[in-house]
Structure 1
């Protein structure tokens, strides 16, 4: 598939002509509300097999072949050219599709009561592209019982599509992650044993295959207690035919203090069947405007992770959302940024007639606009270019797969490129 960035004066019809595909197909693939309305800087996925390259000044067949990872001879043969011929500027070259890589795909789902039909349909639609569906979240109580989320028919829909259902267990209490609750679960053996037994019973009843611990904001001093908790969990769950996994915050060293001090990457890698890296939230609701998952920062986390954990156990985390910050920006204002899906961000740029910019260092799209009340906004989100950059990182480090937070946020280009670049394993 091709990624095309809209330039000034272009129309969807003209873009379609350039690639030999109808504008209706481009509109359908990118789920455009109105095909007559696009904006400069908007990244579109062109639904073709392979891609095209237009020769730029100074380019040679060798340089172009190297860029796309094919031989000069093959590139010349496909395009009916001489290996030693001169390339005229503007010549359109066909680039064949690259071989696909096998990966696992895990997506979180967070149903709210009552379970919406829209979310159910999204699960049904995306299940063919998933290996795991992670139900967020079951909340342990102080006595070892579980507060269960509304799940409706979601697990059965996923299972029917060959997806393994994952039971997410978090330390949420009163809508916030509680270090005190986690500590109690770590040190009280009676409560802990009751919790493990309840988890196994729920897993059997629903059909969960993996138990996924998402414990956050833990006390640094609870590091070894958490490791022991996971070891005991694995010993209890493995005989029941359950795997165990954890969500890891983004660390770049083995720091034992601070916000992530309790998280021991090496121990999690030894104990767990797999881990997911929460490589997002550099830009968050109370931060200054910035990319949510800037590529250089994500890379640092991945580099550290694979130094501690076998890459075949590591999922790269990916946000399916961005943020719209309004002035005065946090933390000065105390007003949180508004979360929005990539599709909502593009529609916002179209509706405000604002060109989309791209930060090539962070590999992230962004734009600014002024609303009807004269308030200035800055938006950072994800697009086809940014997700392809993460996919390339996943391939570079031979990671097990990718994890998404979360289903229900519209980002059609992600799913198109995922299918184009990877074969999703069904386990």
Structure 2
């Protein structure tokens, strides 16, 4: 795999010739909406087929997978043109293998709301070990707020992607409730009702594990939270369900702030089977323009986490989005718009802006002026920034990655991920996860 950065005067035909690959492959892999319109500074992921197969009459995707010694999921990953669908036609060319040695095995999880575009989900599922529908809420009596998750679970199961149940204190207002967390974490009888309801949902819906996400909890609830996670693990692990907990991006044990003080890395790391580090949102809706996940910040969180939690328990959080800020930025007034990496490039193309790359943050950005004369600054992710973040996984020996979230298309991310790693096809049983 090569990541090429578009230069002034480039065109796709010349780039394809220079790398010796079909132009159609670059278009399909990167899902270029207008191949004739490239942006200076835009990245293109270029993969080099090593073995291809021409579909014969009577072939099915399953038969091609069997005779080539590949999984269906790998065939989907190798051939984005399939769109996650098994339909073939005689004469079609499939890539069986790309140049390069298989990378280390990683677990990959991502979150999706029930209203996700189904075509987007279909073509992304083969890159995931787990899909986590977002989210089951909690009522004050321990009952669950229902979630229309069955279509997502079924789509994942059809391509071998397991589902994790997501449990949070998010309310209908869209905010995490520390009062609700306090109620649950300090009432053992209420916890028993809640855990019973969680277990019933895991079993009836066909989930493979539980992901717990209590944010902005009170500092005094840090130890009760860890005890609750431990209680969940003790109930669920013997039945084959791992417990994952999401943690705020801390860099020290005594980091101040409501987001951080209720999360004890050491205690939660001991209690859970896996830990998802939410290493993003430094650049956020109400903050000043900057990278969503600057690499030095991400690295600092990982290095602190490793002082408290074994590397083999950690999943690195990866953002699947960027932000567009109107300028000038005014604290308390300016509100950034969340956008997909693909849309960011289309904005740069529309307003004839060149994309710059911040080598320190390891993130792309650009500025433009809209039709109303308002200036904007955009920070997002591209193939370079994703490779920089994902490279932390083998550097520190982490177990895998978790993406927030799947709702926006980012095809280059999945190409980079698949080129760097071997994506685990089957979740580990809880008995092997427990430590």
> In the aligned structure 2, how far is the partner of 1:160 from the partner of 1:98?
28
Tell me, what secondary structure is at the counterpart of 1:172? coil
Q: Matches of residues 36-75 of structure 1 in structure 2 within 5 Å? A: 36-49=36-49
Q: By how many angstroms is 1:330 displaced?
A: 4.1
- Normalised by the length of structure 2, the TM-score is 0.84
> In the aligned structure 1, how far is the partner of 2:420 from the partner of 2:49?
11
Q: Aligned pair 1:13/2:13, yes or no?
A: yes
> In the aligned structure 2, how far is the partner of 1:244 from the partner of 1:396?
25
Q: Aligned pair 1:137/2:135, yes or no?
A: yes
Q: By how many angstroms is 1:24 displaced?
A: 2.4
Tell me what 1:281 maps to: 281
> In the aligned structure 2, how far is the partner of 1:185 from the partner of 1:328?
43
Tell me what 2:250 maps to: 251
Q: By how many angstroms is 1:423 displaced?
A: 0.6
> In the aligned structure 1, how far is the partner of 2:273 from the partner of 2:206?
18
Tell me what 2:123 maps to: 125
5+ residue gaps in structure 1? 51-95
- RMSD value over aligned CA atoms? 1.6
> In the aligned structure 2, how far is the partner of 1:238 from the partner of 1:4?
45
Tell me, what secondary structure is at the counterpart of 2:235? helix
Q: By how many angstroms is 1:161 displaced?
A: 2.0
> In the aligned structure 2, how far is the partner of 1:28 from the partner of 1:239?
45
Q: Deviations over 1:229-269 (max 9, x none)?
A: 11222222223332111001101111164220111111122
Tell me, what secondary structure is at the counterpart of 2:10? coil
Tell me, what secondary structure is at the counterpart of 1:44? strand
Q: Deviations over 1:298-352 (max 9, x none)?
A: 00001111121111110000000000000232425x2320000100101111111
> In the aligned structure 2, how far is the partner of 1:205 from the partner of 1:196?
14
- 8 Å CA contact 1:146–1:195 kept in 2: the answer is yes
> In the aligned structure 1, how far is the partner of 2:374 from the partner of 2:298?
32
Tell me what 1:100 maps to: 103
Tell me what 1:109 maps to: 112
Q: By how many angstroms is 1:392 displaced?
A: 1.2
> In the aligned structure 1, how far is the partner of 2:285 from the partner of 2:368?
18
Tell me what 1:269 maps to: 269
Structure 1, 238-247 or 180-189: larger mean CA deviation: 238-247
Tell me what 2:316 maps to: 316
Alignment coverage as a number of residue pairs: 377
Tell me, what secondary structure is at the counterpart of 1:339? strand
- 8 Å CA contact 2:227–2:271 kept in 1: the answer is no
- 8 Å CA contact 1:312–1:398 kept in 2: the answer is yes
5+ residue gaps in structure 2? 51-98, 428-435
> In the aligned structure 1, how far is the partner of 2:185 from the partner of 2:407?
33
Cα distance, 1:330–1:217 mapped onto 2, change above 3 Å: farther
Cα distance, 1:330–1:242 mapped onto 2, change above 3 Å: farther
Tell me what 2:166 maps to: 168
Tell me what 1:149 maps to: 147
Tell me what 1:198 maps to: 197
Q: Aligned pair 1:211/2:210, yes or no?
A: yes
> In the aligned structure 1, how far is the partner of 2:352 from the partner of 2:111?
33
Tell me what 1:325 maps to: 325
> In the aligned structure 1, how far is the partner of 2:187 from the partner of 2:132?
27
Tell me, what secondary structure is at the counterpart of 1:128? helix
Tell me what 2:386 maps to: 387
> In the aligned structure 2, how far is the partner of 1:104 from the partner of 1:152?
22
Tell me, what secondary structure is at the counterpart of 1:200? helix
